[in-house]
Amino acid sequence: MQFAGIPVSGAAVRSCFPDLASPEKKVQALEKSGELIRLKRNLFIVNQELTGKKTDVRLCANHIYGPSYVSFQWALRYYGMIPEQVFMMTSATTKRTRSFETPIGIFNYVQVPASYLSIGVECKEEQGISFLMATREKALCDTILLDNFVPRQSIKSLAAYLEEDIRLDMDILTELDFKIIEQCSRIGRKSLIFQNLIKIIKQ
């Protein structure tokens, strides 16, 4: 079925009914019947019970509020870097911090500097659907950037924070590309912490 598993604009849905006198009323009827699910104004998904294809929430996150990319602890869990399940999807954006409550979940967005946004972001593809998501390194930097209680001075304290507070798999640190973290450190916010993180990786 057309638009299965992906977010679609109201205009795209209306374009499917060019012969109707009021395509807008058709969209309203589809929403009322439950065939269309509204994520926000002028953005919908087709009910997956009709399509048989699960909606990709990561792509939805990209479209609900942008420019943005999926990151923070949700991404850390996706990469297997932390053990706990994370049910709240959080993305980084250059727009103001916001939260959207939708029928398929709550989507949080955290504002970051424009110069920082594009660092360490990848276009991933799974089952024919592409979405923007932080790399492992960027997701870790984003998590640190968001937390106001990260130790600033001591490398030892930062290592303890990573292992005990975030519950990060410390063995993964040796696999990370510190060059991405170096780029993040140049934005000026928490630069010392990012430099200490690089020292931990290089140990």
List 105's β-bridge partners, or say none: 102
Q: What is the pLDDT of residues 141-188, one digit of tens each?
A: 999 999 989 987 799 999 999 999 999 999 999 999 999 999 999 986
What pLDDT, on a 0 to 100 scale, did the predictor assign at position 42?
92
Residue 146 sits in the same domain as residue 171: yes
Q: Return contacts of 91-96, CB within 8 angstroms, 24+ apart.
A: 91/61, 91/62, 91/65, 92/68, 92/117, 92/134, 92/142, 93/65, 93/66, 93/67, 93/68, 93/117, 94/67, 95/65, 95/66, 95/67, 95/68
DSSP 56: -
Domain check: are 44 and 73 in the same one? no
Say what angle helices 191-202 and 136-146 make with each other, to 10 degrees.
Answer: 140
Q: Are residues 86 and 124 part of one domain?
A: yes
Instruction: Quote the pLDDT of residue 49.
Output: 87
DSSP for residue 176:
S
Are 113 and 167 members of one domain?
A: yes
Task: Please tell me the distance from the alpha carbon of residue 150 to that of residue 192, in angstroms, as a whole number.
Answer: 11
Question: Which DSSP letter does residue 95 get?
Answer: S
Indicate if 36 and 103 belong to the same structural domain.
no
Distance CA 120, CA 135 (A): 6
Q: State the residue range of the domain holding 33.
A: 8-55
**Total domains in the fold of the chain:** 2
**91 in the same domain as 189:** yes
Which tens digits make up the pLDDT trace of 105-154?
A: 999 999 999 999 999 999 999 888 899 999 999 999 999 999 989 987 79
To the question of pTM greater than 0.75 for the whole model, the response is yes
Average pLDDT (48-55) is 86
